[in-house]
Amino acid sequence: MANIINYISNTTIPIIIVLIILYGIRDKVRVFDTFLDGAKEGIEIVFKMFPTLLGIFLAIGVLRASGLIDAIVNLITPITNLLEIPSNILPIAILRPISGSASMAVAVDIMQKYGVDTLTGFITSTIMGSTETTFYTIAIYTSAVGIKKTRGILFAALAADIAGMIASTIICRILS
């Protein structure tokens, strides 16, 4: 069975490519020229998004190196203690909306420090699966299509992230 799935996985993309080429030939479309036009457009989008990505990565580096994340965690801890939210998940709660790779690194650190089968490990995993890299996603989507005013997008997206983090904590506490 594993060999069949492996075979299907390895042949699916080449088959799709051949089907696209055959469809283009049937409709008398210059397939390679169309591909090149799409590739040029993709490069232009990458160049438009590059300053945004550079700014996000720089901000993450500054946050981690400056110790600002630890200061924010120390500031928020009394509130989270009242709500019975473990303070050791706060770094991921802060970084998750900003960067997927930074939050993944923090999640790995949390798992190694507290274990994967602990309440902290469960909450961390659930937060990773139920929240989004909000700033990154908004920056990419809005810069790709040239939107300058994001209006209520940021507030709504951050509210959804906070709801996901609170729900993760509540659900993990109930189930563990």
What are the residue ranges spanned by the domains of the chain?
Answer: 2-175
Residue with tokens 């299509």: 145
State the virtual CA torsion across 46, 47, 48, 51 in degrees, nearest 10: 100
Residues 97-139: tens digit of each pLDDT: 888 878 888 898 899 999 999 999 999 999 999 898 888 788 7
* 28: alpha, beta or left? (left if phi > 0; alpha if psi -120 to 50): left
- Three-class SS state of 117: coil
Residues 53-98: tens digit of each pLDDT: 787 778 777 877 888 888 888 898 998 888 888 888 988 888 888 8
In this model, does residue 150 exceed pLDDT 80? Answer: no
Query: What is the distance, to the nearest Å, from the Cα of residue 157 to the centroid of all Cα atoms in its chain?
Result: 13
Which one, of 12, 11, 43, 37, lies nearest residue 24 by Cα? 37
Give the span between the Cα atoms of 40 and 62, in whole angstroms: 33
Give the span between the Cα atoms of 173 and 127, in whole angstroms: 13
- Report pLDDT for 73: 87
Give the span between the Cα atoms of 17 and 172, in whole angstroms: 44
- Report pLDDT for 16: 93
Which one, of 173, 175, 174, lies nearest residue 85 by Cα? 173
Q: Which parts of 67-118 fold into alpha helices (H)?
A: 68-82, 90-95, 100-114
At 127, give phi and psi (nearest 5°). Answer: -65, -40
- Report pLDDT for 40: 93
Does 146 or 18 have the greater pLDDT score? 18
Residues 18-56: tens digit of each pLDDT: 999 999 999 988 888 998 999 999 898 888 778 877 877
- Report pLDDT for 102: 81
Give the span between the Cα atoms of 131 and 68, in whole angstroms: 22
- Report pLDDT for 55: 79
Which one, of 94, 93, 101, lies nearest residue 53 by Cα? 101
